[in-house]
């Protein structure tokens, strides 16, 4: 008597299931049953971990980068000197500390007064990032680790121009006299609107008392900069955040330079998208073969039932087998992902982030979770049906299990897909939109495929033998063929999408900051200098210089109520209401601005006191449509009604204004003009002449920051192409999976046909006809959907201007046919080469 008594059965512990499922895995693997499942999983996990490792490093690199934007890991600012209480506390925590004080003042150079933004800094400033300085206004710049020595100042180039001074000259600030020692070219934590800020003077904080400028009531911004080991800084950050005193504020990097940040975020978006497509495609491959796997294991399950295994035993064994598979495939994927990530990092060697932090194991967790989730969502539902296989199946093949409900199957796939998307995108609404879009696309693909198959069936009679056989294969199983066409179509569509994304979207991204984008801003041009300056640039070889007007104004009232800094808690709002606004006027909205609320003005509105506001500024000042903002313009009070809100793409390096009014309102007020130009290195040499000819005009050089943004774009484009390789691999896996899903039927039918006298050539031609038709149909559908998707992506996600191009549909048909015929022929080679008797004799489970 054996040990399968109820008592013996109860003794069956977890060890049995693990060991038995491991043996089942090994046996299925050896039999080639798991190849596509494993390949699909490995591709998905590799791409998700490679991008995960990379984005994790970039994310933390960004934190470092953002640290550079505030010159510290953490900064607290206040109008009161008692913010320096944090110094002691920070030092006790072994953090590095630096302090700064910023205020406005007037310098005298040669008795010429000039408003300046003074920044007094302590030793060790900046704690993150570096200052860049040069020995003359437009010469080469270099990084420095130091700060001005006592008695010295470093100044922005435009101040030299304004004061008509040079290196080595003296300037007077309060009670002290300083020597101008260097030109300050780049300050990591410089924030705010370039046009409205007075030029910077950087001085040593030790000299500050002697100037006598800091007296009670002076508007000084005190800042404590703190840096240290990340985890301790994070906990200290949380601690401070909850205990800030009135008037104290944590400085965030958004207040720093937004341009780099936006470029890196776009890079992450691109990479994430590529990885996500690989995962979803690999999911489709896994789902396609999982069903075949379960069908091929019906007999095994029935035999297990005959041998006394309970439903639970069967389900536990198959689930554990899948768990083993996902663990092994995920491990392989994680290792490959890690290696891939190193390649990407090498490609991005010279990226803006001087050194990326080392990878952490967060991505490994993500990889394993993806592997397990994919197999659970895509493969487990069909396997669950094995539980219901009646043991009678061993005696009568027609008695089979109740197939798992298609709805349940689709629901599991959609849920799993949404989870993966949410993981990657993190935005529920966007996930719902994307999932809805994918489901809709699949439905449209399926219905169209079905209609095309029906149409083809009508043409079948007029075709030759091979074609008739091929077309019959397609129309005989319309449901199976629809699934195949949709799967092929998905694979081809993604490949087409990639070629379009690579060539069009990436180019467009790069084009958003072209080599000849304006790299200098010219401000303070007076109305009577417009023609002369334009001609000057024309003579330098710079054509089409567009000038924008600017009228300085102070916000005095909102809806009749006097505006005061005390009305606002946010530092930005307090700052805004104390400084002057630049009101500009324009007939039409600028191309890179987008209306968020309210209409842009018509010609009839010209001359009316309407106001267009940048939306974030409106939020900060709590201004809404219809509110009345009163400005003091050169002693005259003007009341403007807010008529529309705009979003502005600040990282475009174009000239933009927070406040714009219609033409015909401000023309009689004293205005200065601003423009932006691209100057090459040779033209830059001539800037000295320009400054001498127009001494009041100020030049701002943004070449340094633009170079860094451009660097990111070109390097990241390379990395994206590399990640796209995985997507192509996933696409190929889908093709092979789709072929495999019908392999058993093809093999059996071919064997029967060969016994009936069909030659290998006839079969080959029949298969060719079948794959050509499948390929062309899938290619056509793929081409059309790829065209629409590229257009949608360009229009709504990446916001590039994309021209609809139907050659993509044509290349879909051609490439689809070629790829499916090659993949199909390779995949079904064994159907033709195996002797038919071998197939027919395989009368086994």
Partner 1 sequence: MDNAVSNSFVEARHLGKHVATREGVLTLLDDINFKIAAGTSVAILGASGSGKTTLLGLLAGLDTPSNGTVILNNNNLNDFDEDGRAMLRAELVGFVFQNFQLLFGLTALENVMLPLELAQLPHPRKKAEELLKRVGLGERMQHYPNQLSGGEQQRCAIARAFSMRPRILFADEPTGNLDSKTGKRIIDLLFELNAEQGTTLIMATHDAQISRLCDQLIHLEAGRIVEQVNSPGKGNSYE
Q: Which listed range, 46-54, 308-316, 486-494, 609-617, lies at the site for partner 1 (CB under 8 A)? A: 308-316
Give CA–CA dist 70/694, Å, rounded: 35
Site size toward partner 1 (CB under 8 A) is 43
Confirm if 638 and 587 have CB atoms less than 8 A apart: no
Q: Which listed range, 256-264, 302-310, 539-547, 759-767, lies at the site for partner 1 (CB under 8 A)? A: 302-310
| Alpha-carbon distances of 209 from 113, 177, 454, 689, rounded to whole Å | 21, 13, 89, 39
Check residue 27 for interaction with partner 1 (CB under 8 A): yes
Q: Which listed range, 76-84, 476-484, 731-739, 835-843, lies at the site for partner 1 (CB under 8 A)? A: 835-843
Of 379 and 498, which CB lies nearer to partner 1 in the complex structure? 379
Interface residue with partner 1, options 111, 349, 396, 539 (CB under 8 A): 396
Check residue 23 for interaction with partner 1 (CB under 8 A): yes
Interface residue with partner 1, options 113, 139, 308, 688 (CB under 8 A): 308
Interface residue with partner 1, options 87, 197, 240, 303 (CB under 8 A): 303
Check residue 242 for interaction with partner 1 (CB under 8 A): no
Q: Which listed range, 6-14, 117-125, 433-441, 531-539, lies at the site for partner 1 (CB under 8 A)? A: 6-14
Q: What is the contact mask toward partner 1 in residues 139 to 178, using x (rule: CB under 8 A)?
A: ----------------------------------------
* Least distance (Å) between residue 845 CB and partner 1: 5
* Size of the chain, expressed as the number of residues it contains: 845
Question: Structure tokens of 69?
Answer: 């934007």
407-411: which pairs have CB atoms within 8 A and are 24 or more residues apart? 408/381, 409/381, 409/382
* Least distance (Å) between residue 5 CB and partner 1: 6
DSSP 425-469: H--HHHHHHHHHHHHHHHHHHHHHHHHHHHHHHHHGGGS-HHHHH
Confirm if 314 and 386 have CB atoms less than 8 A apart: yes
Check residue 4 for interaction with partner 1 (CB under 8 A): yes
Bridge-based pairing of strands 636-648 and 593-597 is: antiparallel
Of 14 and 246, which CB lies nearer to partner 1 in the complex structure? 14
**H or E element that contains 155:** strand 152-155
Question: Structure tokens of 360?
Answer: 């952490």
Check residue 300 for interaction with partner 1 (CB under 8 A): yes
* Least distance (Å) between residue 297 CB and partner 1: 9
| Cβ neighbours of 339 (radius 10 Å) | 12
Question: Structure tokens of 465?
Answer: 């033998």
Check residue 16 for interaction with partner 1 (CB under 8 A): yes
Of 247 and 299, which CB lies nearer to partner 1 in the complex structure? 299
* Least distance (Å) between residue 772 CB and partner 1: 32
Of 8 and 212, which CB lies nearer to partner 1 in the complex structure? 8
| Cβ neighbours of 17 (radius 10 Å) | 16
Check residue 838 for interaction with partner 1 (CB under 8 A): yes
Check residue 835 for interaction with partner 1 (CB under 8 A): no
Of 390 and 663, which CB lies nearer to partner 1 in the complex structure? 390
| Alpha-carbon distances of 519 from 133, 509, 538, 703, rounded to whole Å | 18, 18, 16, 5
Closest CA to 498 of 349, 333, 276, 667: 276
Check residue 306 for interaction with partner 1 (CB under 8 A): yes
* Least distance (Å) between residue 304 CB and partner 1: 7
Give the torsion sign (CA, 390, 391, 397, 399): negative
Check residue 9 for interaction with partner 1 (CB under 8 A): yes
Q: What is the contact mask toward partner 1 in residues 251 to 290, using x (rule: CB under 8 A)?
A: ----------------------------------------
* Least distance (Å) between residue 649 CB and partner 1: 60
Residue 501 CB burial class (10 angstroms; 0-12, 13-18, ≥19): buried
Check residue 2 for interaction with partner 1 (CB under 8 A): yes
Of 392 and 547, which CB lies nearer to partner 1 in the complex structure? 392
* Least distance (Å) between residue 836 CB and partner 1: 13
Of 703 and 744, which CB lies nearer to partner 1 in the complex structure? 744
* Least distance (Å) between residue 747 CB and partner 1: 12
Q: Is 595 helix (H, G, I), strand (E, B) or coil?
A: strand
Give CA–CA dist 189/66, Å, rounded: 10
Check residue 20 for interaction with partner 1 (CB under 8 A): yes
| Alpha-carbon distances of 261 from 132, 440, 655, 712, 829, rounded to whole Å | 20, 34, 19, 10, 52
Of 310 and 714, which CB lies nearer to partner 1 in the complex structure? 310
3-state SS, one letter per residue, for 523-569: EEEEHHHHHHHHHHHHHHCCCCCCCEEEEEEEEEEECCEECCHHHCC
* Least distance (Å) between residue 449 CB and partner 1: 32
Of 211 and 313, which CB lies nearer to partner 1 in the complex structure? 313
Strand partners, 372: none
Secondary structure letter of residue 5 according to DSSP: S
Question: Structure tokens of 11?
Answer: 């003794």
* Least distance (Å) between residue 743 CB and partner 1: 14
* Least distance (Å) between residue 753 CB and partner 1: 20
Interface residue with partner 1, options 304, 537, 658, 726 (CB under 8 A): 304
Of 27 and 622, which CB lies nearer to partner 1 in the complex structure? 27
* Least distance (Å) between residue 27 CB and partner 1: 5
Give the torsion sign (CA, 389, 390, 394, 399): negative
DSSP 299-360: HHHHHHHHTT--HHHHHHHHHHHHHHHHHHHHHHHHHHHHHHHHHHHHHTTT-SSSSPPPP-
Q: What is the contact mask toward partner 1 in residues 310 to 329, using x (rule: CB under 8 A)?
A: xxxx----------------
* Least distance (Å) between residue 11 CB and partner 1: 7
Of 236 and 304, which CB lies nearer to partner 1 in the complex structure? 304
Of 216 and 843, which CB lies nearer to partner 1 in the complex structure? 843
Of 24 and 449, which CB lies nearer to partner 1 in the complex structure? 24
Interface residue with partner 1, options 3, 349, 528, 604 (CB under 8 A): 3
Closest CA to 705 of 187, 71, 140: 187
Check residue 8 for interaction with partner 1 (CB under 8 A): yes
Give CA–CA dist 732/745, Å, rounded: 22
Question: Structure tokens of 750?
Answer: 């071919």
Residue 586 CB burial class (10 angstroms; 0-12, 13-18, ≥19): middle
Give CA–CA dist 586/343, Å, rounded: 49
Of 314 and 558, which CB lies nearer to partner 1 in the complex structure? 314
* Least distance (Å) between residue 745 CB and partner 1: 16
Span 356-395, contacts to partner 1 by CB under 8 A: 390-392, 394-395
Check residue 843 for interaction with partner 1 (CB under 8 A): yes
Confirm if 282 and 733 have CB atoms less than 8 A apart: yes
Q: Which listed range, 505-513, 683-691, 734-742, 834-842, lies at the site for partner 1 (CB under 8 A)? A: 834-842
Of 8 and 113, which CB lies nearer to partner 1 in the complex structure? 8
Give the torsion sign (CA, 614, 617, 622, 623): negative
Interface residue with partner 1, options 143, 559, 570, 842 (CB under 8 A): 842
Q: Which residues bind partner 1 (CB under 8 A)?
A: 1-6, 8-9, 11-12, 16, 20, 23, 27-28, 30-31, 33, 299-300, 303-313, 390-392, 394-396, 838, 841-845
């Amino acid at each position: 008597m054996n040990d399968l008594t109820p008592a013996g059965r109860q003794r069956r512990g977890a060890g049995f299931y693990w060991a038995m499922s491991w043996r089942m895995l090994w046996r299925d693997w050896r039999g080639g049953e798991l190849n596509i499942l494993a390949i699909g999983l490995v591709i998905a996990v590799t791409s998700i971990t490679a991008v995960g490792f990379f984005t994790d490093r970039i994310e933390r690199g960004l934190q470092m980068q953002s640290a550079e934007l505030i010159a510290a890991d953490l900064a607290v600012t206040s109008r009161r000197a008692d913010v320096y209480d944090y110094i002691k506390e920070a030092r006790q925590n072994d953090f590095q500390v630096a302090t700064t004080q910023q205020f406005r003042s007037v310098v005298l150079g040669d008795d010429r007064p000039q408003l300046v933004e003074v920044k007094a800094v302590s030793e060790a400033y900046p704690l993150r990032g570096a200052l860049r300085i040069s020995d003359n206004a437009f010469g080469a710049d270099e990084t420095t680790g130091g700060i001005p020595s006592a008695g010295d100042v470093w100044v922005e180039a435009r101040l030299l121009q304004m004061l008509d001074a040079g290196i080595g000259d003296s300037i007077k600030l309060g009670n002290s006299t300083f020597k101008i020692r260097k030109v300050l070219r780049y300050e990591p934590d410089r924030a705010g609107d370039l046009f409205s800020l007075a030029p910077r003077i950087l001085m040593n904080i030790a000299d500050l008392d002697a100037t006598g400028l800091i007296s009670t009531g002076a508007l000084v911004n005190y800042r404590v900069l703190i840096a240290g080991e990340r985890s301790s800084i994070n906990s200290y950050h949380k601690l401070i955040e909850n205990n800030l005193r009135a008037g104290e504020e944590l400085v965030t990097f958004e207040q720093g330079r937004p341009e780099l940040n936006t470029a890196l975020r776009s890079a992450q978006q691109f990479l994430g998208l590529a990885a996500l497509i690989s995962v979803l495609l690999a999911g489709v491959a896994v789902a396609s073969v999982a069903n075949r796997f379960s069908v091929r294991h019906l007999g095994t399950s029935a035999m297990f039932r005959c041998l006394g295994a309970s439903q639970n035993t069967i389900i536990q064994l198959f689930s554990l087998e899948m768990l083993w598979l996902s663990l092994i495939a995920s491990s392989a994927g994680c290792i490959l992902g890690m290696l891939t990530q190193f390649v990407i990092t090498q490609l991005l060697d010279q990226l803006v982030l001087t050194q990326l932090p080392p990878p952490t194991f967060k991505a490994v967790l993500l990889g394993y979770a993806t592997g397990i989730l994919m197999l659970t969502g895509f493969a487990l539902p069909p396997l669950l049906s094995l539980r219901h296989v009646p043991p009678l199946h061993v005696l009568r093949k027609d008695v089979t299990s109740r197939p798992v409900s298609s709805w349940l199957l689709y629901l599991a796939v959609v849920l799993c897909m949404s989870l993966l998307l949410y993981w990657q995108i993190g935005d529920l609404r966007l996930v719902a939109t994307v999932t809805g879009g994918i489901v809709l696309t699949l439905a449209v693909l399926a219905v169209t495929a079905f209609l095309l198959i029906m149409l083809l069936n009508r043409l079948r009679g007029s075709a030759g033998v091979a074609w008739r056989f091929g077309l019959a294969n397609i129309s005989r199983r319309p449901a199976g063929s629809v699934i195949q066409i949709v799967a092929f179509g998905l694979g081809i569509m993604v490949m087409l999408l990639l070629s379009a994304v690579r060539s069009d979207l990436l180019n467009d991204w790069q084009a958003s900051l072209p080599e000849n984008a304006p790299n200098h801003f010219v401000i303070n041009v007076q109305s009577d200098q417009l023609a002369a300056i334009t001609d000057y640039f024309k003579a330098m070889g710079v054509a089409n210089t567009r000038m924008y007007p600017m009228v300085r104004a102070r916000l005095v009232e909102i809806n009749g109520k006097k505006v005061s800094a005390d009305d606002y808690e946010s530092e930005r709002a307090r700052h805004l209401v104390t400084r002057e606004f630049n009101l500009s006027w324009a007939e039409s909205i600028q191309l890179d601005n987008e209306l968020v609320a309210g209409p842009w003005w018509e010609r009839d509105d010209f001359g009316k006191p309407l106001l267009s506001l940048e939306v974030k500024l409106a939020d900060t000042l709590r201004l809404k449509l219809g509110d009345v903002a009163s400005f003091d313009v050169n002693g005259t009070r003007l009341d403007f009604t807010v008529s529309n809100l705009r979003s502005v793409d600040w990282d475009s390096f174009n000239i933009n204004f927070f406040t714009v009014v219609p033409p015909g309102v401000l023309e009689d007020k004293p205005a200065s003009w601003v423009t932006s130009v691209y100057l090459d290195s040779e033209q830059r040499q001539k800037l000295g002449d320009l400054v001498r000819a127009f001494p009041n005009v100020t030049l701002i050089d943004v070449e340094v920051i633009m170079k860094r943004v451009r660097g990111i774009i070109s390097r990241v484009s390379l990395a994206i192409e590399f990640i796209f390789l995985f997507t192509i691999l996933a696409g190929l896996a889908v093709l092979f999976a789709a072929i495999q899903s019908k392999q058993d039927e093809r093999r059996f039918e071919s064997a029967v046909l060969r016994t009936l006298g069909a030659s290998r050539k006839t079969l080959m031609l029949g298969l060719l006809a079948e794959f050509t038709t499948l390929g062309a149909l899938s290619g056509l559908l793929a081409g059309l959907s790829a065209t629409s998707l590229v257009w949608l992506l360009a229009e709504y996600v990446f916001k590039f201007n994309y021209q609809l191009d139907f050659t993509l549909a044509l290349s879909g048909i051609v490439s689809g046919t070629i790829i499916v015929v090659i993949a199909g022929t390779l995949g079904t080679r064994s159907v033709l080469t195996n002797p038919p008797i071998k197939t027919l004799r395989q009368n086994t489970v």
